[in-house]
C-alpha cells in the first residue's frame, strides 16, 4: 500500500524491513525552441529604430533559464536572460537604433532576418518659375517652367500641381 501526494510531490509507504528502493520519474529536460523572428519595419531611414523580436519556448517539463543574444552583422549587440516555466513561451524584444545606410543581418540563435537602412528621405524644393512668353493676352497660351530639386538622399515622388486663381489646371507626378 502506498499513498501518492501530488501536491507535495511525495510517495509514502509502510516498510517492514530494510531494502534498497529506486524511484523513477518521467521528466523531460528543459528544451528551448526559438521561432518567429521579426524585424519591424524592414526598411527605415537613418536615425530610426527597428524592433527585433523572437518567440522563445520551453517544451520540456523543467524550468529553464536562457540567454537570448542579439547579433547584428556578426557582432553581439545585446543579451536578455529569460526564465521559462515548463511548457511555456515568451516573446523577447530588442529596440535597435539604426546606423548608417546599408543592410543589417540579424541573428538570434539559429534564426536569421534583416532590415535595411536608407539615407534621409526625399525632400523636394520648387524654384525658378518662368513663363514663356511672360506677357500674354487673354485667351493666349504660355509655357510654365519650374525647377524641382530632390535634396534628400533617397529617391521619391512629388506631385506638382499648377493652379491659376486657386483652380487646379494640371497635375504631374515627378520622380
pLDDT along the chain (175 residues), means of 10: 76 73 70 97 92 96 94 97 95 94 96 92 85 85 87 80 88 88
pLDDT of residue 21: 67
| Of 172, 170, 151, residue with least CA distance to 162 | 170
Per DSSP bridges, beta strands 111-118 and 49-58 are: unpaired
Please tell me the predicted confidence (pLDDT) of residue 25: 64
Residue 175 and residue 156 in contact, taking contact as beta carbons nearer than 8 Å: yes
Rounded CA gap, 71 and 50, in Å? 14
- Whether pTM > 0.85 for this model: the answer is no
Rama region for 100: left / alpha / beta (φ>0; ψ in -120 to 50; rest): beta
User: Would you state the pLDDT for residue 144?
Assistant: 85
Amino acid at each position: 500500500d502506498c499513498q501518492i501526494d501530488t501536491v507535495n510531490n511525495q510517495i509514502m509507504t509502510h516498510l517492514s524491513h530494510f531494502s534498497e528502493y529506486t524511484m523513477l520519474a518521467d521528466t523531460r529536460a528543459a528544451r528551448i525552441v526559438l521561432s518567429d523572428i521579426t524585424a519591424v519595419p524592414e526598411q527605415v531611414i537613418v536615425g530610426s529604430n527597428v524592433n527585433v523580436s523572437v518567440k522563445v519556448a520551453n517544451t520540456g517539463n523543467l524550468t529553464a533559464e536562457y540567454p537570448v543574444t542579439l547579433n547584428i552583422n556578426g557582432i553581439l549587440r545585446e543579451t536578455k536572460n529569460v526564465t521559462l516555466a515548463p511548457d511555456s513561451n515568451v516573446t523577447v524584444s530588442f529596440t535597435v537604433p539604426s546606423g548608417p545606410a546599408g543592410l543589417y543581418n540579424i541573428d538570434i540563435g539559429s534564426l536569421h532576418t534583416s532590415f535595411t537602412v536608407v539615407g534621409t528621405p526625399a525632400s523636394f524644393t520648387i524654384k525658378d518659375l518662368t513663363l514663356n512668353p511672360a506677357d500674354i493676352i487673354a485667351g493666349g497660351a504660355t509655357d510654365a517652367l519650374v525647377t524641382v530639386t530632390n535634396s534628400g538622399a533617397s529617391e521619391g515622388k512629388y506631385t506638382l500641381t499648377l493652379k491659376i486663381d486657386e483652380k487646379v489646371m494640371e497635375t504631374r507626378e515627378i520622380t
